[in-house]
Amino acid sequence: MIDNICKFLAESFSADFASWLLGEAITLTKLEPSELSVEPIRADSVIFLESSEIILHIEFQTEPNKNIPFRMADYRLRLYRKFLDKQIHQVVIYLTPSQSPLVYETKFSIGTLNHEFNVIRLWEQPTEIFQQYQGLFPFATLTKTENSEETLRQIVRQIENIEDKQLQSNVAASTAIISGIALNKEIIQRLLRSEIMKESVIYQEILREGKAEGIAEGIAEGEAKGKTKERNQIALNMLLSNISLDLVAQFTGLTLKQVQKLQKNSVKQSQTPKVSKPKRYPKS
């Protein structure tokens, strides 16, 4: 889901991304990875945007990935083969804070071949940049902010001032889902009104595919009810097998507080004495 949202934002707000990554508000159009080879590299988060002079290659990553350097070098050669005269700007954007050395790798080397690319770790980026462009609003809570909740509150106020309702809805839904990396869904649901998001293409996609995970479960209300019942039953089964509360929460997607409540209710029900109904005998 995060990959799809990042693609949607980069393609829908290409000028905003160009302003951030290239320093110039260039209008870019989508370039399909399949145009680079009959056998494209398998990568869910790859995005190519092009103008008459430049190609912007973006890779969003939620987790460190050891294959990134090779992938960037491989795509760079494919781009060179097809677009000899264009400038190529490649950037990997890491969304989730990590101490892994992989998120600091900016070079692929093999023998005498060396290829360098750009890396952005969002948690090191100044928040102010992401408050300037509507297409970057959804990433603001992942930046170098002292208070992610307050940052989201400020972004919500800016979203509410967007006059185009469809645009407003798309940005709100994107913000809700991406902010789930930094904030729990209760905070997000409290600050972002669901009625603003319901007209977004993202919300409709969630409903259509039934993939209501993370904060999306709170958005896709109807789907979430059935999912919640199913998750609760799975959690109860795990609790009965003496699996730790933390693992139950991690596996089911429930919060620790929700798992504790399920456990408490389960214990309470097991301790409630069952009252047997008196036997009835037929009248003689």
The predicted structure's pLDDT at residue 91: 97
- pLDDT the model gives residue 38: 47
Q: Compute the distance between CA of residue 268 and CA of residue 43 in angstroms, rounded to an integer.
A: 48
**What is the C-alpha to C-alpha distance for residues 86 and 51, in angstroms, rounded to an integer?**
9
Higher pLDDT, 199 or 84: 84
Is residue 209 very low, low, confident or very high in pLDDT (cuts 50, 70, 90)? low
Confidence of residue 276 (pLDDT cuts 50, 70, 90): low
**Phi and psi of 114, rounded to 5°?**
-130, 130
pTM of the model: 0.70
Three-state DSSP at 219 gives: helix
Strand partners, 113: 110
Res. 20 pLDDT band, cuts 50 70 90: very high
Mean pLDDT value of segment 200-215: 59
Residue 74, C-beta contacts closer than 8 angstroms, at least 6 positions apart: 41
**Summary mean pLDDT of the chain:** 83
**Is the confidence at residue 57, as pLDDT, over 60?**
yes
**What residue has token string 């979430």?**
224
Higher pLDDT, 272 or 132: 132
Query: Which tens digits make up the pLDDT trace of 211-236?
Result: 444 455 555 555 556 667 777 888 88
Q: Does residue 217 contact residue 228 with C-beta atoms inside 8 Å? A: yes
Are 143 and 130 in contact by the 8 Å Cβ rule? The answer is yes
Query: Which stretches of 144-255 are DSSP H helices?
Result: 148-160, 165-179, 185-191, 194-197, 201-209, 215-219, 221-240, 245-252
Give me the percent of the chain exceeding a pLDDT of 90.
49
Q: With contact defined as beta carbons under 8 Å apart, do 107 and 69 qualify?
A: yes
Q: Are 83 and 55 in contact (CB under 8 A)?
A: yes
User: In terms of pLDDT, which residue wins out, 146 or 283?
Assistant: 146
Average pLDDT of the residues in 133-138: 96
- Assess contact for 48 and 59: CB atoms under 8 A: no
